[in-house]
């Protein structure tokens, strides 16, 4: 692919060299140095075009975030892809391209891969969320809430990035149709539809996850309340033998102390009173 340049993690000096060689504005590529760069579509006076979109990838902190990539095509039919996080590029490089439609096919393929990366991650988040739903009933630990927070953070990144991508793709399609490139515009419209579907699913998953977090918090609180209720009731019941035995253990004259079988009577009284209190607590749903 002699007309394709792949730029990964460039320095400002390297960006300057590329932009000077292909004669397009420096900021067409330098935008990828800022992870929070907004998506945009631009065309300069020399008929060089930029479409900057955001794609999902693992961050240095192990979470899935979104990062900008620049896709530039020049007046000389050269295509430059620049990004600051490595992706699986086999779908781009392991393909045969029609030389006459090389530029359009390559641009479409890059956008197609980036868009479907969202769907792949959303599928993974959906699986993780369902796994959390299964294990949430008896949970009293923090592992699930930590996983929920990680998924929710990624979905917030996705929601903002996909919203911006949709706006840019809409402008790009309008631009292509104005230039009578309807065939290519229709292909990009397919990308637009896929992006819009990912955006809709992201919003749905965010709502489901927010409801799940609320449910999880309520379940954990309820489980802890049940544990505390049982422990309190058990402590109350176990206190009854301690009171009776303590009373008869005092070093003073006590009624019945001369009776040989008094110890058995005390044990019977302990069992009967403890059993009656336990039954009463259970009946009132306090145990």
Break the chain into its structural domains and give their ranges: 2-220, 225-282
Identify the pLDDT of residue 119.
Answer: 94
DSSP annotation of 181 reads -
Identify the pLDDT of residue 90.
Answer: 74
Instruction: Give the torsion sign (CA, 125, 131, 137, 143).
Output: negative
Identify the pLDDT of residue 192.
Answer: 95
- In this prediction the pTM is 0.74
What is d(CA 75, CA 84) in angstroms, rounded to the nearest whole number?
25
Identify the pLDDT of residue 45.
Answer: 85
The yes/no answer on whether domain 2-220 falls in CATH 3.10.310.40 is no
Identify the pLDDT of residue 40.
Answer: 92
Identify the pLDDT of residue 182.
Answer: 63
Identify the pLDDT of residue 181.
Answer: 65
What is d(CA 217, CA 233) in angstroms, rounded to the nearest whole number?
24
Identify the pLDDT of residue 99.
Answer: 67
What is d(CA 82, CA 91) in angstroms, rounded to the nearest whole number?
16
Block means of pLDDT (10 residues each) for the chain, length 287 residues? Answer: 81 92 91 90 89 90 88 88 83 72 86 92 91 68 75 92 95 84 84 95 91 73 72 72 69 66 73 75 64
Identify the pLDDT of residue 68.
Answer: 93
Identify the pLDDT of residue 62.
Answer: 72
Q: How many CB atoms lie within 10 A of CB 136?
A: 16
Identify the pLDDT of residue 120.
Answer: 93
What is the length of the chain? 287
């Amino acid at each position: 692919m002699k007309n394709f340049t792949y730029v990964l993690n460039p320095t400002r000096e390297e960006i300057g060299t590329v932009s000077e060689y292909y004669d397009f504005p420096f900021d067409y590529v330098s935008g990828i140095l800022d992870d929070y760069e907004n998506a945009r579509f631009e065309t300069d006076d020399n008929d060089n075009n930029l479409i900057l979109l955001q794609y999902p990838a693992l961050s240095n902190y192990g979470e899935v975030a979104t990062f900008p990539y620049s896709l530039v095509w020049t007046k000389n039919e050269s295509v430059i892809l620049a990004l600051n996080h490595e992706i699986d590029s086999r779908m781009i490089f392991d393909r045969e391209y029609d030389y006459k439609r090389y530029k359009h096919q390559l641009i479409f393929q890059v956008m197609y891969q980036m868009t479907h990366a969202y769907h792949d991650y959303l599928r993974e988040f959906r699986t993780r969320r369902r796994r959390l739903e299964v294990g949430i009933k008896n949970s009293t630990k923090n592992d699930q809430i930590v996983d929920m927070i990680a998924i929710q953070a990624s979905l917030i990144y996705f929601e903002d990035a996909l919203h911006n991508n949709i706006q840019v793709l809409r402008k790009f399609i309008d631009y292509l149709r104005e230039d009578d490139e309807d065939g290519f515009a229709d292909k990009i419209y397919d990308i637009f539809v896929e992006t819009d579907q990912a955006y809709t699913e992201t919003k749905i998953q965010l709502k489901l996850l927010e409801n799940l977090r609320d449910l999880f918090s309520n379940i954990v609180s309820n489980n802890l309340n049940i544990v505390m209720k049982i422990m309190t009731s058990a402590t109350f019941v176990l206190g009854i033998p301690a009171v009776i035995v303590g009373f008869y253990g005092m070093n003073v004259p006590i009624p019945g102390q001369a009776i040989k079988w008094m110890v058995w009577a005390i044990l019977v009284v302990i069992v009967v009173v403890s059993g009656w209190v336990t039954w009463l607590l259970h009946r009132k749903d306090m145990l």
